[in-house]
Structure 1
Amino acid sequence: MTSIEVPVLIVGGGGCGLSASVFLSDQGVDHLLVERHADTSRVPKAHYLNQRTMEIFRQHGIRDDVLAEAAPLDKFGKVRWATTFAGDGPLDARRIHEMDAFGGGGLTEKYAAAGPELPSKLPQMWLEPILRRHAEQRNPGRILFSHEVIDFSDEGDHVIAEVRNVETGEVITVKAQYLLGADGGRFVGSKVGIEMQGPPSNVNTTTVYFSADLSQWWEEGTLITHYLSPEDPDLSVNLIEMGPSWGKACEQWGLHMAPGPPGRWDNETVVDRIREVLKVPDLEVTVHKVTDWIVNAILADRYRVGRVLIAGDAAHKQPPAVGLGLNTGIQDAHNIAWKLAAVLNGSAPESLIDTYEAERRPVGRENVDWAVSAAQHHQVVIDAVGGGHNIPAGRRGQRLAAYFDPSPLGDTVRARALEMFDTHRGGCQSFEMEVGFAYEEGAVVPDGTERPARVPMRDEHTPTSRPGHRLPHAWITRDGERLSTLDLTGRTGFTLITGPEGTAWSEAAPRVAEKFSVQVNAVRIGDGAEYADVDGGWEAVRQITGAGALLVRPDQHVAWRSTGADEDAEQALTEVFATILDR
């Protein structure tokens, strides 16, 4: 039997697992990734890449390849509600409402001020090949598709796993110091006794992935369009562009049917249903896949058991509202990668890995709860116009007709409904949930300050350099090159950011770095420094004086800050690193 020994074994080659591979490679960590399927996903799955994820892709050199295939913001930056997709009845094909969403339209300026990247739309079936290519380029020969873990055991100081080649049946033994389960909760978590906690769910959703030419009827520009049938709640659907072209040129689509029992349709029988719900009776359709899936709202009780860790859907599953699922998984991987690297290279003890759960599980909890809240509230919103699934067939036409009534009473009906629609910004404009998550405990040194107040709808973001938060973005320049402050962090090591009067911090940094065997890149921003704060944007968000300092982790979160100078900068930084690295 063949044996392989690696520091880290990743189980699962989806969006989270492949991202973890890229991040570990960039941290210089040798690892093996195994995925039981022969190839990346053949169905769209998640399709929204939020602002924070795009910043991470920027940091790790993936962003350009994503943008080359992704829909531009003007092609998806709205959410829309309509009666039906097509049809010639008095209530057919009528727009009910649309609103800017996910950084589009009037939101773009606000999102652009918050970070160097804007959100993108690229379904997982197109994203994963990009991630796989980057993973294979950075870790050649160690990304094994058609391989599945059939058993593993935690031996205390290492993990032993049996990996089977699905095509040949050959079994190899893998010895790893850590195992990262990114398998969607299929096997790893339950094997070590991790429980997924949350209310039981039996709500089945059927998604049909198909190709068709819808250009004659399609109103482009949305991330998702909700069609609320005036006739029958079971004919209400959501339709989503799935590329690979965008707008009216889109070839492939995802259609979410009304909730119902699994197994209702197969690739052949669903064709007539597609034509019925879209009201295009002679539509030429090629069905690629019909999937039934349960809408869950569950969170793992632990993210780590011994030398086994979990991330992505293996740790949290939530309704697709707000688009936090895949993004949270990629951000999980971003958090754990640098910590595994620090432990494996000897600069931190194993206890640093415990901060992964301490930091990421509260974020997982908040994101699951927020997605549930948004999904439930959306039901209330569409009920307000008479299009919800709770509105019976006999009353739907009457309710929707009242919404379009040109009379003064119709004006009132629309005004009331539009106020309800506006509350949906908590579901599609909550960019504080995308970039504002923070770590209250873990590998951070709190400074005693309070977290900035968060508005209830999470549609406003307050940048802050408070420890635990993502480094605030501002545009700076060096030798004429325009950069984001986030670009200062590179892909590895810590970054110490000071002002023009922060020389003592900069001089102490290399001595402390040598003491702890860590990489620290010291930079200064301000008048006379190597980086210029050309428009005052950094001064507006830094929350330290020109003599102060920020220490930023490899994952771009602030680990510590000093608002001003210190009598003994070297001793202060020594204590900071001892705390962060648990030494």
Structure 2
Amino acid sequence: MPGAEADPEVLIVGGGPVGLTARALLARWGVRTTLVEKHTELSPFPRSRLVNVRSMEIYRLLGLAAPLTDRAFAPEYGRIRFRDTLCDRDFATAAMVGVNAPVPESPETGVLTSQDRLEPLLLAAADTPVRFGVELVDLAEEADGVVAVLADRRGGERTRVRARYVLASDGANSTLRPLLGIGTTGPGALGSFTTVVFDADLSRWCARRPAGVYFTAHGSFGPVHPEGGWMWFGVTPDDAADADWPGLVSRALGPGAGVRPEVRRVQHWVMNAFVAERFRHGRVLLAGDAAHALPITGGLGMNTGVADAHNLCWKLAGVLRGWAGPALLDTYGTERLPVAHRTLDQTVAGTRLMVEVQSRRHEQLRSGEATSDPVELPWSDRYFAQLGLVLGVAYRSRAVLTDTPSSPGPADPSAPGTDYVPTPRPGHRMPHLWLAPGRSTLDACGEWFTLFTPDPARWVQRLGGPWPSRVEALTAEQADSCALGAHGALLVRPDGHIAARWPDAPPSDTALRRALAAVTGSAGG
């Protein structure tokens, strides 16, 4: 076996959006990474198509939100429409709140775009090694790291790479998860599906009523790129190997369409629904679909994985740079596993509601009711907002100090899948406030801990120790909206979640340093 490559601090396995996001985040911390991807190139398929508002906030910090928005669909495409066939009129519709228009709770708006537009931007966001066509086939843990065996899928050459940690983002069919003996819980495979990418002029039926997805009784349609292209996806037919894909898509369009689509690509895939039993095994950490495979309803799969990376990467950086203790990595699973389970429940429920809409329509047609009558949706129009689930995530772990003086409001004010209620409680995302034109409180977070306070002079002298940190001034009005007195403060983690809160003056000169030591599990206090 040939000699070892240059050793990375973190070996990232999987070059989809989650692995590429982790690579870009770790690069901002100066962490040496190598990413390996078993496929020989970035995905040419549209696949994941929704970048929600929280992911856009994360990409804003990486400088990618503006170029993503520039190449994405216009906000009016942030809508779902239900039709009998694509050529028919809508019998139901719902908005994707947070995508179809800005929301005041965020400086960003989610976008509808295709994975093949997102991944090149992510790839260019860091200048660290990426090896396509290379697969991890074995690994062994040592006292201070991991030895991974990598196989080049084109030439068969094998190499050994040593890393301090491995971040496994290698998808629902992960090699690493079973290799580590990590099981899964949940429904499992929900069915086999096929995506067909094709060219056709469908403007007659869609230009005046744009949407990201058109659900029909014969599969679902969606525009691929603003400049053209379409995709159809539905249940894989029994005769898939010999299927007439142009004919199948043509029939799904409707008998009156008179369109013969030009098929570009066909991909078969399995819709999975599970969560890994744990997200960490020693020095290997799971993220994205390797940790939780979610049904596509609501577009939460990729976005949940992006949030995984955001939660994990600052913790890896802290451990590798010595200002955090190794136990901080345990909080990754403690914080993200409950989110994965809630999100799985939400997407499974959403899938059932989609089926219910179609069932109501079939019953309407069977009973002879007027086909132009709308179907009353079994949810509010805000169902697809999911802002409570996306922005209202509340972490509970040793990396959040909930024993600081009392905080206002209910324990979990945001109901998953519905409304989001900003709160300054520890564990929650820092509320978005405009610090200056175009500059949000979320922009003040980054590769450091941020202390938000209306009294910077009192707090800045209490900083110290090994932790990267900054102080950010709040106006009296902003402090009041965060339920802070004239000398209070919020300590916010690099991932934008509140770590600790002091409504009034610090209880002692060492309170801030002791809080940072407790949050990071270090001895620097």
TM-score, structure 2 normalization: 0.93
Distance 1:545 1:399 in 2: 63
Which string of whole-angstrom CA distances, capped at 9 and with x for unpartnered residues, describes residues 525-566 of structure 1? 116xxxxxxxx4x34531212210111111111111101102
Tell me if the contact between 1:506 and 1:523 (Cα under 8 Å) persists in the aligned partners.
no
5+ long unaligned stretches in structure 2: none
Tell me if the contact between 1:454 and 1:460 (Cα under 8 Å) persists in the aligned partners.
no
Hey, what does 1:84 align to over in structure 2?
85
Hey, what does 1:115 align to over in structure 2?
106
4+ residue runs of structure 1 moved beyond 6 angstroms? none
Distance 1:460 1:363 in 2: 16
Match for 1:469: what amino acid? H
Task: Describe the SS at the equivalent of 1:225.
Answer: strand
Distance 1:20 1:104 in 2: 24
Distance 2:505 2:381 in 1: 45
1:507 to 461, 473, 495: 461
Q: How does 1:331-342 map to 2 (within 5 A)?
A: 331-342=307-318
The alignment status of 1:404 with 2:404, answered yes or no, reads: no
Task: Describe the SS at the equivalent of 2:42.
Answer: coil
Match for 2:438: what amino acid? R
Distance 2:19 2:125 in 1: 12
Bigger Rg over Cα:
1
Tell me if the contact between 1:385 and 1:399 (Cα under 8 Å) persists in the aligned partners.
no
Match for 1:431: what amino acid? L
1:323 to 299, 307, 310: 299
Q: Percent identity?
A: 32
Match for 1:488: what amino acid? A
Match for 1:181: what amino acid? A
Distance 1:265 1:102 in 2: 39
1:34 to 33, 36, 39: 36
Tell me if the contact between 1:381 and 1:424 (Cα under 8 Å) persists in the aligned partners.
no
Q: How does 1:153-164 map to 2 (within 5 A)?
A: 153-164=140-151
**Aligned residues between the structures:** 514
Measured at CA, do residues 453 and 9 of structure 1 come closer, stay the same or move farther in structure 2, by a change above 3 Å?
A: closer
Distance 1:261 1:298 in 2: 24
CA drift of 1:452 comes to: 4.8
Tell me if the contact between 2:80 and 2:212 (Cα under 8 Å) persists in the aligned partners.
yes
2:491 to 548, 551, 569: 551
Which string of whole-angstrom CA distances, capped at 9 and with x for unpartnered residues, describes residues 45-82 of structure 1? 110000000000001111122122111212x1222112
CA drift of 1:333 comes to: 0.7
Hey, what does 1:183 align to over in structure 2?
170
Hey, what does 1:96 align to over in structure 2?
91
1:433 to 364, 385, 389: 389
Match for 2:432: what amino acid? H
Tell me if the contact between 2:388 and 2:415 (Cα under 8 Å) persists in the aligned partners.
no
Which string of whole-angstrom CA distances, capped at 9 and with x for unpartnered residues, describes residues 429-476 of structure 1? 222111111102241111454645546573211101111111100112
CA drift of 1:188 comes to: 0.8
Hey, what does 2:193 align to over in structure 1?
205
Tell me if the contact between 2:86 and 2:214 (Cα under 8 Å) persists in the aligned partners.
no
Match for 1:559: what amino acid? A
Task: Describe the SS at the equivalent of 1:29.
Answer: coil
Distance 1:183 1:577 in 2: 33
Hey, what does 1:562 align to over in structure 2?
502
Distance 1:347 1:96 in 2: 57
Match for 1:103: what amino acid? G
Match for 2:458: what amino acid? A
Distance 2:415 2:322 in 1: 43
Hey, what does 2:212 align to over in structure 1?
223
2:449 to 489, 494, 507: 494
Hey, what does 1:410 align to over in structure 2?
none
Hey, what does 1:358 align to over in structure 2?
334
Distance 1:339 1:400 in 2: 60
Distance 1:296 1:451 in 2: 34
Match for 2:81: what amino acid? R
Match for 2:181: what amino acid? G
5+ long unaligned stretches in structure 1: 87-92, 229-235, 406-413, 528-535
Hey, what does 2:472 align to over in structure 1?
523
1:367 to 323, 343, 346: 343
State the superposition RMSD in angstroms: 2.1
CA drift of 1:288 comes to: 2.6
Structure with the higher fraction of residues in helix conformation: 1
Measured at CA, do residues 563 and 483 of structure 1 come closer, stay the same or move farther in structure 2, by a change above 3 Å?
A: same
Measured at CA, do residues 99 and 199 of structure 1 come closer, stay the same or move farther in structure 2, by a change above 3 Å?
A: closer
Match for 2:63: what amino acid? G
Measured at CA, do residues 566 and 397 of structure 1 come closer, stay the same or move farther in structure 2, by a change above 3 Å?
A: closer
CA drift of 1:133 comes to: 1.6
2:119 to 109, 115, 128: 128
